[in-house]
């Protein structure tokens, strides 16, 4: 610990000296982000679904009242994490147990981003952080009114409410490490279904 | 030690592979162009990203202090490492204190830079790279040849053979989907039994002590959420002031790297999991020396998107391993010579560039990469590291170019000389340029003479 604190001191001392000799404080200020916002013409909704398709996700658009039936018919046996009563069953489970039990998982997302199809989920959406990744099939629900235009709007919404862990998920897990051939299902979910909720 | 041109020559022995490498990376470059063009405010984003990074470099001490304070409040343990050796020892100490045996790692160029894998192996700790490309090259005991596409130098036949040996896949099988599935099964077992998970860091946010990691495969999250102990390793320059600035960088990073609008997972780690530990190791290893250098500090703005490699005509045709440095391509070229404080290394790399400026044109944080390469060349010549022949030629030509009459006479002499001097003298070992090339046919008159005759009408 001693040695590490000494390194901390040395590093800060060197930064201070570099900053003085380098003169890099000259004329630099924290930049306002004017002009970086998305200027796309299309509606957020259309761009969102386009981006999701590009990212390899399946899309369904449903009225809220039809969703339960849709899920139970299309994904029988799915673990529906919208129901917080079942969270206790999964808390503290070993990864291998989670792997055995969570083949298909339903999670309610908080923000959808039009420009890239990413959906924000965080600690308040699931009982264990591993669940969105260990499931072979992932189903994310997102309200139509939760779709924002770009990452600027998304982070503006998240900044104040960031919990212990959060992730933007855009499509199923993928890799192209073998000759640049795209393969879904590298380590995380093999498929992603997104249900956009209307009304 | 071999030189860049010798290693490039080894890569060039297989022309089909070189063409494939060249074309494949060019496709990635074109995807990047399409993604960039689809964002109207692209240039503005680049400008903001560049300015933000400059701001960061101007206030590193303040931002790191703020980050440390907030990360500690979040329940993270922050460690500092002055150099590679100390970084490796900090990691080993954490592993030892937990009696951990199974270590998984997701992509981190910093751990490559510090030689962490070999250090741990020497101390009896087995560490498994979990990014598919990284696992492939780990099996082959090779360094990555690209910072985003680590196994881009390999063909599926190479990987099929490797997996047959290491993972028992069918002999001769080369289907990427089949091979990827085999790796998934193999690595899943590693994740589920991991005691410690290591990751690199793309961005660290000062205002809330969060680290951000971007992956497509989901391997960072599989490891971090499976293992009770998570360790995030970052260079001091990874810090950014605020959460809102992430928007600028996440809009640029994946588009510029692979042409995707965003990586599949953009993960924000703030607090440890229940009953878990979260460590953050902040590393200097030569970065403060670079910060003190007005000429070369801009390289610290790099967000490791890899675009300068994909676009570089030299990189695409010589392969990542030809650079011999952890980070290849144009950005590697400007990092390598001053990578160890007080020394000048990799002196031949600045010559491995055509100065076409394509790297600077695609860089999302507007590093003047070609300018730095040019500065390095000048510095190396000044310090006497240029090759003897080149220096002699430059001296003589400097003398000749300064005197028009001498220039005219010597031009005539060369035109005559090239015709009458025997071939073995012109294409001798002194003229390495002539090893792979033929001189153009010698004109009978100089441009000046031709212009005097034809220029006026
Ligand atoms: S120097 Fe620029 S283009 Fe090259 S990897 Fe870094 S950020 Fe990307």
pLDDT tens for each residue of B118-133: 999 999 999 999 999 9
In this predicted structure, what is the pLDDT of residue B390? 66
A7 and A89 in a single domain? The answer is: no
Query: Sorting pLDDT into bands at 50, 70 and 90, what band is B386?
Result: confident
In this predicted structure, what is the pLDDT of residue B398? 63
More confident residue, B330 or A27: B330
B334 CA closest ligand 1 atom index: 1
In this predicted structure, what is the pLDDT of residue B434? 59
In this predicted structure, what is the pLDDT of residue B399? 63
**C-alpha–C-alpha distance, residues A75 and A81, integer Å:** 13
A134 and A99 in a single domain? The answer is: yes
Q: What is the mean pLDDT of chain B?
A: 92
Question: Which CATH number does the domain housing residue A134 bear?
Answer: 3.40.50.10420
Q: Please give the average per-residue pLDDT across B263-277, as a whole number.
A: 97
* Cβ atoms < 10 Å from Cβ of A45: 14
Q: Is A150 helix (H, G, I), strand (E, B) or coil?
A: coil
Query: Sorting pLDDT into bands at 50, 70 and 90, what band is B433?
Result: low
Cα B305 to middle of ligand 1, angstroms: 5
B265-269 vs A104-108, strand pairing mode = unpaired
Instruction: Kindly state the tokens that stand for A172.
Output: 């199923």
Find out if CATH 3.40.630.30 is the number for domain B39-285.
Answer: no
Specify whether the CB–CB gap between B98 and B195 falls below 8 A.
yes
Examine the pLDDT at B277 and tell me if it is beyond 90.
yes
Spell out the residues 6+ positions from residue A89 whose beta carbon is closer than 8 angstroms to its own: none
A20 and A64 in a single domain? The answer is: no
More confident residue, B438 or B112: B112
- φ/ψ of residue A57, rounded to 5: -95, 155
**C-alpha–C-alpha distance, residues B193 and B104, integer Å:** 9
**C-alpha–C-alpha distance, residues B180 and B217, integer Å:** 11
Examine the pLDDT at B1 and tell me if it is beyond 70.
no
B216 and A175: CB-CB below 8 Å?
Answer: yes
Ranking A1-10, A77-86, A172-181, B23-32 by mean pLDDT, the lowest is: A1-10
Ranking A77-91, B293-307, B442-456 by mean pLDDT, the lowest is: B442-456
A161 and A181 in a single domain? The answer is: yes
Count of domains in chain A? 2
**Which H or E element spans position A140?**
strand A137-143
Minimum CA–CA partner of B282 in chain A: A8
Superfamily of domain B295-382: Alpha-helical ferredoxin (1.10.1060.10)
**C-alpha–C-alpha distance, residues B445 and B440, integer Å:** 14
A44 and A108 in a single domain? The answer is: yes
Name the CA radius of gyration of chain A, rounded.
21
Q: What percent of chain B has pLDDT over 90?
A: 82
User: Could you give the angle at the alpha carbon of B341 between the alpha carbons of B352 and A19, nearest 5°?
Assistant: 105
Q: What percent of chain B has pLDDT over 70?
A: 88
Minimum CA–CA partner of B246 in chain A: A155
A95 and A7 in a single domain? The answer is: no
C-alpha separations of B74 from A162, B70, B79 in Å: 12, 6, 15
| Nearest to A118, CA basis, from A168, A163, A72 | A168
A54 and A12 in a single domain? The answer is: no
B304 CA closest ligand 1 atom index: 5
Closest Cβ–Cβ partner in A30, A115, A129 for B261: A115
A11 and A47 in a single domain? The answer is: no
Q: Please give the average per-residue pLDDT across A140-151, as a whole number.
A: 97
- For B403-412, the pLDDT digits (tens) are 666 667 766 7
More confident residue, B175 or A3: B175
Examine the pLDDT at B160 and tell me if it is beyond 60.
yes
Examine the pLDDT at B457 and tell me if it is beyond 60.
no
In this predicted structure, what is the pLDDT of residue A159? 87
In this predicted structure, what is the pLDDT of residue B205? 97
**C-alpha–C-alpha distance, residues B415 and B443, integer Å:** 7
C-alpha separations of B404 from B357, B396, B432 in Å: 31, 14, 28
Pocket test for ligand 1, best of B254, B302, B325 (most atoms within 8 A of CB): B302
Q: CB-based contact (8 Å) between B268 and chain A? A: yes
Sequence spans of domains, chain B? 39-285, 295-382, 392-454
Domain that holds residue A10: 1-31
More confident residue, B308 or B441: B308
Query: Sorting pLDDT into bands at 50, 70 and 90, what band is A160?
Result: confident
Cα A96 to middle of ligand 1, angstroms: 39
Query: Sorting pLDDT into bands at 50, 70 and 90, what band is B437?
Result: low
A25 and A43 in a single domain? The answer is: no
Q: Most A CBs within 10 Å: which of B218, B255, B286, as the mutation test of the A interface?
A: B218
A127 and A164 in a single domain? The answer is: yes
A20 and A73 in a single domain? The answer is: no
In this predicted structure, what is the pLDDT of residue B442? 75
């Amino acid at each position: 610990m001693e040695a590490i604190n000494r390194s901390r001191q040395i590093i800060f001392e060197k930064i201070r000296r570099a900053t003085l000799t380098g003169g890099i404080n000259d004329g630099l200020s924290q930049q306002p982000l004017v002009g970086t916002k998305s200027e796309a013409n299309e509606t957020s909704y259309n761009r969102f679904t386009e981006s999701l398709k590009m990212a390899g996700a399946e899309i369904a658009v449903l009225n809220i009242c039809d969703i339960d039936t849709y899920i139970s018919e299309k994904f029988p046996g799915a673990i529906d994490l919208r129901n917080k009563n079942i969270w206790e069953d999964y808390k503290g489970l070993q990864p291998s147990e989670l792997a055995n039990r969570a083949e298909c998982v339903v999670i309610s997302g908080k923000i959808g981003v039009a420009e890239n199809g990413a959906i924000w989920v965080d600690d308040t959406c699931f009982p264990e952080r591993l669940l969105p990744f260990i499931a072979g099939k992932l189903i994310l629900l997102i309200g139509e009114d939760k779709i924002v235009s770009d990452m600027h709007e998304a982070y503006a919404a998240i900044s104040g409410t960031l919990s212990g862990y959060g992730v933007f998920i855009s499509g199923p897990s993928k890799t192209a490490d073998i000759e640049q051939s795209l393969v879904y299902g590298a380590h995380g979910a093999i498929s992603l279904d997104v249900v956009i909720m209307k009304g | 030690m071999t030189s860049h041109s010798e290693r490039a020559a080894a890569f060039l022995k297989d022309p089909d592979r070189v063409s494939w490498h060249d074309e494949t990376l060019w496709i990635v470059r074109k995807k990047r162009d399409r993604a960039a063009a689809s964002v109207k405010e692209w240039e503005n984003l680049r400008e903001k990203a560049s300015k933000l990074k400059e701001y960061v470099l101007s206030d590193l001490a303040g931002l790191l202090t703020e980050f440390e304070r907030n990360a500690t409040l979040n329940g993270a343990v922050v460690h500092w490492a002055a150099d590679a050796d100390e970084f490796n020892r900090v990691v080993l100490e954490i592993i030892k204190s937990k009696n951990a045996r199974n270590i998984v790692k997701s992509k981190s160029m910093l751990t490559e830079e510090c030689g962490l894998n070999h250090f741990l192996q020497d101390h009896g700790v087995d560490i498994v790279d979990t990014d598919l490309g990284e696992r492939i090259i780990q099996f082959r005991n090779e360094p990555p040849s690209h910072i985003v596409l680590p196994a881009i130098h390999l063909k599926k036949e190479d990987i099929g053979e490797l997996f047959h040996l290491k993972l028992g896949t069918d002999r001769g099988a080369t289907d990427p989907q089949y091979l990827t599935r085999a790796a998934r099964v193999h690595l899943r077992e590693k994740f589920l039994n991991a005691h410690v998970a290591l990751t690199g860091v793309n961005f660290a946010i000062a205002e809330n002590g969060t680290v951000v990691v971007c992956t497509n495969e989901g391997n960072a999250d599989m490891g971090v959420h499976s293992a009770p102990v998570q360790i995030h390793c970052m260079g001091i320059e990874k810090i950014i002031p605020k959460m809102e600035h992430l928007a600028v960088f996440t809009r640029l990073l994946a588009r510029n790297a692979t042409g995707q609008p965003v990586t599949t997972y953009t993960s924000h780690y703030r607090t440890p999991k229940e009953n878990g530990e979260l460590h953050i190791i902040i590393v200097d290893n030569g970065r403060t020396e670079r910060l003190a250098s007005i000429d070369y500090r801009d390289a610290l703005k790099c967000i490791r998107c890899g675009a300068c490699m994909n676009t570089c005509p030299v990189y695409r045709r010589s392969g990542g391993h030809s650079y011999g440095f952890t980070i290849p391509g144009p950005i590697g070229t400007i990092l390598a010579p001053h990578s160890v404080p007080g020394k000048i290394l990799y002196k031949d790399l600045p010559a491995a560039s055509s100065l076409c400026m394509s790297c600077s044109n695609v860089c999302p944080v507007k590093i003047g990469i070609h300018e730095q390469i040019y500065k390095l060349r000048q510095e190396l010549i000044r310090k006497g590291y240029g090759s003897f022949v080149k220096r002699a030629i430059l001296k003589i030509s400097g003398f000749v170019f300064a005197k028009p009459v001498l220039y005219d006479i010597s031009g005539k002499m060369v035109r005559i000389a090239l015709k009458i001097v025997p071939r073995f003298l012109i294409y001798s070992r002194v003229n390495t340029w002539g090893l792979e090339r033929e001189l153009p046919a010698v004109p009978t008159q100089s441009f000046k003479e031709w212009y005097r005759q034809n220029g006026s009408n």
